[in-house]
Amino acid sequence: MNRRARHKLSAIVQPVLLTMDLTLTILTYNSFIAESAHWRLLVSFLGAGSFVLVYAMSKEKSDINCSVATPSMRETFIPCSRENLIDLCLQEGQLTGEMAVSFRKFAELLAAYYHFRFYQLEKRLKQNYAPFNPDAELLALLPLTTEKRLTMEKHVVKTLERILRRANYRVLDEATLRQALNQSSLIKLKTRVDFTDFEQMIFYHRGKFTETVQIKQWLWKTKITMDVFTRAVLLLKFKDAAYFSAKGVKLDKLNFTPGRMSVYLYKNIPQNDLELLFPNVQVGMNWLDRLLFFGPALGAGVSVLLKISSSLLLILGLLLFFLLGPEFAQQIGVGEAQARSVTPVLLALLSVSMALGGFAMHQYNGYKNKRLKFLKDVTDTLFFKNLGTNDTVFHTLIDAAEEEETKEAILIYYHLLTHPEKLTPTELDRHIEAWIYQKFALNIDFDMVQSTQRLQEMHAELIEPGATARQPLQLLTLDAHGYCQILPLDKARQVVDHLWDNADQFIGS
C-alpha cells in the first residue's frame, strides 16, 4: 500500500479507533464490569492497542515530505546585491587600473538607465491600480466606464506579472496551488478557501528552502520536512458586493473590500500553510479537535448523569405516577407520598437543570477559548510574515526587478569581456551558472534568453571620432556563427550614456 493510500486509510480509521478507546475507557469505570478481572484486562488491551495504532498512523502522516512538484527546482534569482556582484567581478583581477574604473562606471550607468525605465513602469502601474486600491486616499474626480475599468484591470495584472517575471519570481499555477492547499497544514486547523470569490488571482514565489521542524503529536514530538517560500506574492480581485450579498454574507464581517484588488507580499511561508494567506479563508476545528472536544464532554456528561441518577428516578417516578398509576411508580422505588410532594420534585428539576446547565456552559466556554486560540495562531502567522500590501508592494517588486535585470546584464557583459574565447549564448549560460556556483555554492538557472535579448535591444547611432555620419552601435550582437559579440568598454559606456540622456524616448517600453 502506497503512502497516499495509507494516509486516506488513516483519516477513516483514526476517528473509529479514538471513539472505541473513549467508549472502552468509560465502560471500564462502570460498576457492572468492575467485578470481572478478565473483562477489565480485555478492555485495557483493546484501549492500549487502539492508542498505539492511532499514534502509528499519526506519525506516518507527519513524516510525509511536504513538497509540491514544480516545473524546475532551480531558481533564477541571483542571491547578492548589485554592488557586491561588481566587487566580486573586480576581485578576480582580470580588470585592473583604468579598465576596472571604466567597468564600474559602465555598471553604474547601466543601473541608472534601468532605474529610470522601471520608474516609469511603476508610475503607470500605480495609476491603473488606483480605482481598485482598497487603501486609496485620493478621490476619483472622473467616473470610469465599465470598459475603461476592465482595461485598467487587465493592465494591472499584465504589468504586475511582467514585473514579477523580470524580478525572477515563478508562477504557482492554480492546480499546484490546490495541491498545496490539500496537504496537511502545520497549524492543525480545518481550513477552506472558496476560489469562486475571486475574479482574478495570481500567485508568484521566489526562493525556496527546506526546513525541518518539530511538531507535537500526542505525547511525542515528531520531525517533519517542509518546503518554505522565501518570498510569496498574491494578487486577488474580489467579486462585487452583490455577489457576496447573494451568498448571504454580511458585508461588514468581511476581511476585504468587494470589487477591489488586493496585493500581498509575504516572507518565509511554509508551502503547506498557503491557505492562511487568503483573506476569505474559513477556519474551524478539524475532526481530531472535534473528537477531543466532544469526547471529554461525553465522558463528563455520563459522570453528571450518574451523579444525578437519583433525581432522574424521582422525575421518572412522577411521570409514571400521573400517567400509569401509583403501582408503576412504586416499581422503581417512588412512593405516593414522594410523588405528591412538590418540594422534592422541584429540587430534582433544579438539580438536573443546574448540573446540565453548568456543564453546557463549561463546554461552551471551552469552545470559545479554543476558537480564540485558532484565530491567534492565524494572526501570528500573517502578522510577522507580511512585508507589504496593495500599492506599497509595487515599489518593492519594481526595485527587485530593476536589481535582477542589472545584475544579469553585468554578468553577461563581464564574462564576455574577460573570457579568452568566443562564446555562444548556450556556452555563456553554462559558464555564468558555473561561476555563480563557484561563488555561492548555488545551482541556479540563469535567464540567458531574456537577458541577451534586452542587451541586443540597447543600441544607439553615434558619431565615431573622425567620422561625419552617425554609425549604429549595438551593445550585444550575434555573428554569423552564433557567437556573442560586445562593444569595448568605452563604446559600451557611450551607448548606455546616450540611452540614459534620451531615456524619455523609451517611456512606453
Q: Which pTM value belongs to this model?
A: 0.72
pLDDT of 76 above 50: yes
CA pseudo-torsion sign 378, 383, 386, 390: positive
> How many CB atoms are closer than 10 A to CB 354?
11
Strand-pairing partners, residue 235, are: 202, 263
> Ranked by mean pLDDT, which of 180-189, 197-206, 269-278 comes out on top?
197-206
The C-alpha cell of 284 is what?
Answer: 474551524
Question: How high does pLDDT run on average in the chain?
Answer: 77
Asked if the model's pLDDT at residue 402 lies above 90, the reply is: yes
143 found inside a domain? no
Tell me if 41 is assigned to some domain.
yes
What's the pLDDT at 326?
Answer: 65
- With cell 564576455, the residue in question is 416
On whether residue 127 sits in a domain, the answer given is no
Residue 111 located in a structural domain:
no
Mark which of 319, 343, 373 sits at the end of a domain: 373
**Last-in-domain residue among 373, 391, 417:** 373
CA angle (110, 113, 116) in 5-degree steps: 150
460-465 LR contacts (CB < 8 Å, sep 24+): 460/494, 460/495, 460/498, 460/499, 462/491, 462/494, 462/495, 462/498
* Backbone φ, ψ for residue 215 (5° rounding): -125, 155
Q: Is 116 a residue whose pLDDT tops 80?
A: yes
Whole domain around residue 57: which residue ranges? 3-62
pLDDT in tens, 349-372: 556 566 656 666 666 676 677 667
Do 40 and 28 touch, CB atoms closer than 8 A?
Answer: yes
From CA 133, how far away is CA 136, in angstroms rounded? 5
Say what the alpha-carbon torsion angle 216, 219, 220, 221 is, to the nearest 10 degrees. 20
Q: Alpha carbon 291 to chain centroid distance?
A: 28
Domain count, the chain: 2
Using pLDDT thresholds of 50, 70 and 90, give the confidence band for residue 125. very high
Does the pLDDT at position 56 exceed 90? no
Query: Pick from 400, 393, 407, 502: which is nearest to 451 by CA?
Result: 407
Last residue of a domain, one of 373, 400, 424: 373
pLDDT at res. 49: 47
Q: What is the mean pLDDT of residues 165-194?
A: 77
For residue 417, being part of any structural domain is answered with no
Q: How many CA atoms does the CB half-sphere of 367 hold within 13 Å?
A: 15
Any domain includes 466: no
pLDDT confidence band for 415 (50 / 70 / 90): very high
Q: Is residue 484 part of a domain?
A: no
Q: How many CA atoms lie within 13 A of 461 on its CB side?
A: 4
> For residue range 440-458, what is the model confidence (pLDDT) as tens digits?
998 999 999 999 999 999 9
166 burial via Cβ count (<10 Å: 0-12, 13-18, 19+): buried
Rounded to an integer, what distance in angstroms lies between the CA atom of residue 457 and that of residue 332? 99
Give the count of beta carbons closer than 10 Å to the beta carbon of residue 40. Answer: 14
Q: Is the residue at 38 inside a domain? A: yes
